[in-house]
Amino acid sequence: MPDWDHPSRDAWCRTLDAAVSAADAPVVFAAHSLGCLTTAFWASQYASAAQLAKVAGALLVAVPDSSGSHFPQDASGFAAVPLTRLPFASIVVASSDDPYGDEPFSQNCASGWGSRWIGIGPRGHINADSGLGDWDDGRRWLGSFG
């Protein structure tokens, strides 16, 4: 993404759009945190039907709540998360103690997006500090999109 320190929904979605446009099908997303929101905004507001048709699936890990108290102040445009059904298969994976987005929020996103929801217990923000190592389950879920 163009600026990790000052994430902008518009810039991130346009970058994702360009990457999908340049890619051969099938495209599979492995998104974490703001990447999950970027994926949802891109699919609902930026992508063309041709680009959406290239996407085989999305693994959406640690969805942050843009209205939550821990959401980054320097992230712009990620409020009012779109809850429209994603036009491709998706899985939302959540931790029960993620400070950036609680389980009810991630379950609501999964429901709105038409995603399978998977809770993995207390793992924080599901990152390198979560003790998952190579994360065989994550690799398997990602591989399920073909």
pLDDT bracket for residue 145 (50, 70, 90): very high
Average pLDDT of the residues in 81-109: 96
Residue 113 covered by a domain: yes
Structural domain including 36 reads 24-143
| Helical residues (DSSP H) of the chain, grouped into ranges | 9-22, 34-41, 49-54, 103-113, 136-143
What's the domain count of the chain? 1
> The domain spanning residue 123 has which CATH number?
3.40.50.1820
Residue 97 covered by a domain: yes
- Per-residue pLDDT of 37-67, as tens digits, reads 999 999 999 999 999 999 999 999 999 999 8
Residue 12 covered by a domain: no
Q: Which residue has the tokens 């929101």?
A: 37
Residue 65 covered by a domain: yes
Residue 8 covered by a domain: no
| Structure token pair of residue 131 | 């003790």
pLDDT bracket for residue 133 (50, 70, 90): confident
Q: What letter would DSSP give residue 45?
A: I
- Per-residue pLDDT of 96-117, as tens digits, reads 999 999 999 999 999 999 999 9
